């Protein structure tokens, strides 16, 4: 069995209509993940990225000091508070602490900043929560950051091979790419085997449901897997500023101009509030009303 809440969640994840979500949940005995696959196989839901309703407030902030860079996300209850100077000052203090100290994990950071968090909460009048952070220190290269839409999206990236201005320019260009194109992996080798196998199953079902001959389905699936890599692997993506070249070619081009061998070592992209949800009464009411029909 399933409830209107399940239908609402499935609709958020897939963008499919209420009737299609109801049918998918019915066919899969209420299993949410299987229902997502069911809709994708029918071509009703095509998004391969994990959908999440961006509903929490707060900001993502970055700090670069020499060869070290940090990216942090701190949440609050309202957008009004997130835009305030007191709140931003607290977030900056969190970034400063992470940059200047060895912090084992998020629990250690929360414990260390507990008194300041309580004090800031009292002053600001809203619950404040330090959610996550990442810290990079480059051994032979540069660390660069990019913050988009006033803290709605943040990127941290490390480029190896040179500490020169050209490497930092490359890092900045690729950080913009990551913010816009939302890659999940650096390259195809990072994609877990089980993810690809799962995608192949979905893509094969899609092809068969489209009426394609079984004899060519495997070739079609391989082609679609390549498209998956092109969409979700950073080095395979077309450069947003010049779609005629991939990010991999862009990196090589920068290196060739400087006579260096450059490479992207790692990156992190935070989207403020991803995976967190707040109640949406209007959306819930909409689903309830359509189910009653």
| Of 41, 36, 38, 80, residue with least CA distance to 58 | 80
> pLDDT band for position 279 (50/70/90)?
very low
- The string of pLDDT tens digits covering residues 104-138 is 999 999 999 999 998 998 888 888 999 999 999 99
For 259, list phi and psi in degrees, rounded to 5: 70, 30
Q: Two tokens at 36?
A: 């997502």
pTM of structure:
0.77
Q: Are 212 and 220 in contact (CB under 8 A)?
A: yes
Residue 74 has a pLDDT of 96
Domain boundaries along the sequence of the chain: 1-52+279-293, 57-186+239-271
Q: How far apart are CA 270 and CA 130, in angstroms?
A: 13
Residue 173 pLDDT exceeds 90: yes
- The string of pLDDT tens digits covering residues 185-220 is 999 999 999 999 998 998 889 888 888 888 898 889
Give the range among 27-36, 85-94, 168-177 with minimum mean pLDDT: 27-36
Domain 1-52+279-293: top CATH class? mainly alpha
Fold of 57-186+239-271: Tetrahydropterin Synthase; Chain A (3.30.479)
C-alpha count within 13 angstroms, C-beta hemisphere, residue 186: 12
């Amino acid at each position: 069995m399933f409830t209107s809440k399940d239908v609402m969640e499935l609709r958020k994840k897939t963008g499919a209509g209420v009737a299609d979500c109801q049918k998918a949940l019915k066919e899969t005995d209420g299993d949410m993940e299987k229902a997502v696959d069911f809709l994708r196989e029918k071509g009703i839901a095509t998004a391969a990225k994990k959908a999440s309703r961006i509903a929490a407030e707060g900001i993502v902030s970055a700090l670069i000091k020499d060869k070290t860079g940090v990216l942090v996300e701190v949440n609050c209850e309202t957008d009004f508070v997130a835009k305030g100077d007191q709140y931003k000052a607290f977030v900056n203090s969190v970034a400063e602490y992470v940059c200047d100290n060895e912090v084992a994990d998020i629990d250690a950071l929360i414990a260390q900043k507990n008194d300041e968090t309580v004090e800031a909460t009292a002053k600001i009048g809203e619950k404040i929560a330090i959610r996550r952070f990442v810290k990079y220190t480059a051994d032979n290269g540069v660390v660069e950051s990019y913050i988009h839409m006033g803290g709605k999206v943040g990127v941290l990236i490390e480029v190896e091979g040179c500490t020169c201005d050209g490497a930092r320019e490359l890092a900045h260009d690729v950080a913009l790419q990551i913010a816009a194109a939302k890659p999940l992996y650096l390259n195809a080798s990072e994609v877990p085997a089980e993810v690809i196998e799962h995608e192949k199953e979905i893509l094969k079902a899609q092809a068969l449901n489209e009426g394609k001959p079984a004899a060519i389905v495997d070739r079609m699936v391989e082609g679609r897997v390549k498209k998956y890599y092109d969409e979700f692997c950073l080095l395979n993506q077309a450069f947003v500023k010049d779609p005629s070249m991939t990010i991999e070619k862009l990196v090589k081009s920068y290196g060739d101009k400087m006579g260096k061998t450059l490479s992207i070592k790692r990156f992190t992209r935070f989207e403020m509030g991803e995976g967190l949800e707040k109640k949406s009464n209007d959306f819930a009411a909409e689903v309830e009303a359509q189910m009653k029909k």
